[in-house]
Amino acid sequence: MSDEIESERPRYKRTNFIKPIPESGCCNLSCPFCYVGILYTKNITSSETEKSKLEHDDPSWEVEWIESNFSAVLNCKNCSNEVFCLGDGRVSEVQFEDEDGYSRDYVTEYKPKYFHPPIPQFLIAEWIPSEIKVKINDAFALAYCDFASCGNKLRVVVEEVMNSIDPDGKGVRLHKRIEALKEENEKIKEFLMAIKWLGNEASHEGELQEYEVAFAFKTLKLILDKVFIDPSIERETQELKLHAQHINRDAVKAR
State the residues that interact with Zn ion by CB under 5 A.
31, 33-34, 37, 76, 78-79, 81
Contact 211, 12 (CB under 8 A): yes
Residue 127: other Cβ atoms inside 10 A: 7
For 45, counting Cβ atoms within 10 Å of its Cβ (0-12 exposed, 13-18 middle, 19+ buried), the class is: exposed
Radius of gyration from C-alpha coordinates of the chain: 21
For the bound state, the minimum distance from the C-beta of residue 121 to Zn ion, rounded and expressed in Å, comes to: 16
Chain centroid to CA 231: 25
For the bound state, the minimum distance from the C-beta of residue 34 to Zn ion, rounded and expressed in Å, comes to: 3
For the bound state, the minimum distance from the C-beta of residue 77 to Zn ion, rounded and expressed in Å, comes to: 8
What are phi and psi for residue 70, nearest 5 degrees?
-140, 155
For the bound state, the minimum distance from the C-beta of residue 74 to Zn ion, rounded and expressed in Å, comes to: 10
**Spatial distance between the Cα atoms of 82 and 37, rounded to a whole number of angstroms:** 11
141 vs 222, which CB is nearer to Zn ion? 141
For the bound state, the minimum distance from the C-beta of residue 31 to Zn ion, rounded and expressed in Å, comes to: 3
76 vs 154, which CB is nearer to Zn ion? 76
37 vs 151, which CB is nearer to Zn ion? 37
Q: At what angle do helices 147-165 and 189-205 cross, to 10 degrees?
A: 140
12 vs 115, which CB is nearer to Zn ion? 115
38 vs 165, which CB is nearer to Zn ion? 38
Residue 99: other Cβ atoms inside 10 A: 5
